[in-house]
Structure 1
Amino acid sequence: MTVKKKRPQKSLAAGRPPVLHRPKSISRKSTKALINRVHLLEKRKQQAKSKGDIAEEAAINAEIKALGGLERYQEASLQGQRHDRGGDSSRVLMEWLEPCLSAHELSPDRPHLRMLEVGALSTQNACSKSGYFEIERIDLNSQAGGILQQDFMERPLPRDDSKRFDVISLSLVLNFVPDPRGRGDMLSRTTQFLRAPEQGLGSESLKANFPSLFLVLPAPCVANSRYLDEERLAAIMESLGYSKVASKTTQRLVYYLWKRDPNFTGPGRPFSKKEIRLGPLRNNFAVVLG
């Protein structure tokens, strides 16, 4: 008599379809390396374009594509917004603005302020969840619904205040512009999209914060550049009619809130690419105006 072998008992999970495992996130080291490489390639591409070197420009485009293109760069940027990597930069903006917003008639149920978020990666950041803002989000390569695919430098200029904004967010956007003059042009262009405070928002604390520009940069752009430091950045912004309301520096990032004088007419003084720090380990981040 043959003894039947007892089959091992299967768990309930054995009959289920395989679980879809999410790919592991990009490591912090890989994220930084990818972002830095793309920035360097974009700078070299701009130089090749200015020289009319079509072959070099094509080769650089091919290398950027091999790295995954703008989509892969954005994935790396989104990784940087995770809580364990510094998180959502707009949380800092809300920390600064929440006191003046909550102290007045502005309420999360009745958004009164218009925000333009340039380089938006998500519709679920702190500003979006606050309920205080009517937000328009744009990006060169939209990755989500609710984000318009648009180049800020090609966005049509507003004809009246109904198309202007109370606050513009440039979070880790200016550093992606490949050349110093282009960065100056971007900062200058923000002034054309900001409106004067509405009569209904006439409290002194609101006037002290709006209209404004939220600017976030990698810390080395200001702390370790040959051509830019805190004093020079403040002078550049003042020449555009901005004054600093708040700032914060971490190991990785610098955050600024700049309030613009709606009565400023300009033009301000020009700024060339001038070396202000010496040393072989400095980076070449610069802003040129005029």
Structure 2
Amino acid sequence: MPKTRKRKSPVTDISRDDSSSSSSNPHASRTVIRRFHVLLKRQHQLQQGPTTAPISQELTEIDNEIQQLGGLSAYQRMSAVGQGNDRGGGSEKVFIKWLHEIGERDQRKGKKKLRLLEVGALKPDNYESWSSWIENTPIDLRSRHASILEQDFLLMDKTENWEKWDAISLSLVINFVPDAKDRGRMLKMAWDMLTPEGLLFLALPLPCVDNSRYTTFDTLQSLMRAIGFAEIKVRWRKGGKMAYWLFRKDMSLSRKDATSEEFRRKTVHRQGNRNNFVVLLP
């Protein structure tokens, strides 16, 4: 008697919560996440223009596909899977290692804890192991846990948060922001919200800087210096999936005009199959 073959699920079949399953397919997850990015970017572009019947129809189709993919909660679930210990853990391990290397833990002994704002938190306890010297506040657009504050970073009160935080983590955050100028605005807001000498941890998929038409490691570093950040750590490897940076708010850097022509969208790589990731100053 022939064996019954189990029917394979399509890559868009993500109705189950697989956030704790080590058997989840990472390739399928990355495929769906990339599709989310395309849809949200197109949705944002259409929303900026006049409302016509064809545009309304396309927006409806985009919304339907986003819902078929499972909505933002599905993106969060798949991202959480990528942070599982069986896949190398979350980016907080890189951040903590660097904090140790620059002496932040030693400096906190007997003093106030490091006040960390974790943007885009998918788990409430990413920094629980270091709670003796880190006071973490996790936020996300759609909270998956009562301990994660549901908050849009771009809508945070500027006055309330002015120089409030010792460190801010933007791990896999700005690449999910559909508007390039909002990405730049997010980085400028982080500068305003950090204490003098405060730290910004930034993590991006490596292709955002290694395979973009408009962005390179050098252009990103130049933009960050224009905002007022000095790069103190960077980590990535050729053929890898992620790139990590640690920046320090540097009050001595002159912050350039946000409309500077130096940071307009410029093609730096014309050959090859490249993506359009870019950060623009608002």
TM-score tier by shorter-chain length is 0.7 to 0.9
Read off the aligned partner of 2:29 and give its amino acid letter.
T
Instruction: Return 242-251 or 268-277, whichever deviates more.
Output: 268-277
Read off the aligned partner of 1:241 and give its amino acid letter.
G
Q: What SS does the corresponding residue of 2:45 show, helix, strand or coil?
A: helix
Q: 1:260 to 1:23 in 2, by over 3 A?
A: closer
CA distance in 2, matches of 1:238, 1:102: 26
Deviation at 1:266, TM superposition (A): 2.6
Q: Kindly, what percent of the aligned residue pairs are identical?
A: 36
Deviation at 1:232, TM superposition (A): 0.1
2:218 pairs with 1:231: yes
Consecutive unaligned residues of structure 2, counting only runs of 5 or more, are 1-17
List structure 1 segments (4+ residues) > 4 angstroms apart after TM superposition.
21-25
1:1-290 pair list within 5 angstroms: 25-52=23-50, 53-99=55-101, 100-104=103-107, 106-107=108-109, 111-125=112-126, 127-131=127-131, 132-159=133-160, 164-196=164-196, 210-250=197-237, 251-264=240-253, 266-268=255-257, 269-270=260-261, 271-290=263-282
Q: Is the 8 A contact 2:226 2:254 kept in 1?
A: no
Q: What SS does the corresponding residue of 2:138 show, helix, strand or coil?
A: strand
Q: 1:265 to 1:234 in 2, by over 3 A?
A: closer
Q: 1:255 to 1:23 in 2, by over 3 A?
A: closer
The aligned counterpart of 1:207 is none
Q: Number of residue pairs matched?
A: 253
Q: Is the 8 A contact 2:161 2:193 kept in 1?
A: no
CA distance in 1, matches of 2:21, 2:118: 29
Read off the aligned partner of 2:58 and give its amino acid letter.
E
Read off the aligned partner of 1:257 and give its amino acid letter.
L
Q: 1:259 to 1:80 in 2, by over 3 A?
A: same
Q: What SS does the corresponding residue of 1:256 show, helix, strand or coil?
A: strand
Deviation at 1:111, TM superposition (A): 4.8
Deviation at 1:142, TM superposition (A): 0.3
Deviation at 1:267, TM superposition (A): 3.5
Larger radius of gyration: 1
CA distance in 2, matches of 1:39, 1:237: 23
Read off the aligned partner of 1:260 and give its amino acid letter.
K
Q: What SS does the corresponding residue of 1:103 show, helix, strand or coil?
A: helix
Consecutive unaligned residues of structure 1, counting only runs of 5 or more, are 1-20, 197-209
CA RMSD of aligned residues (A): 2.1
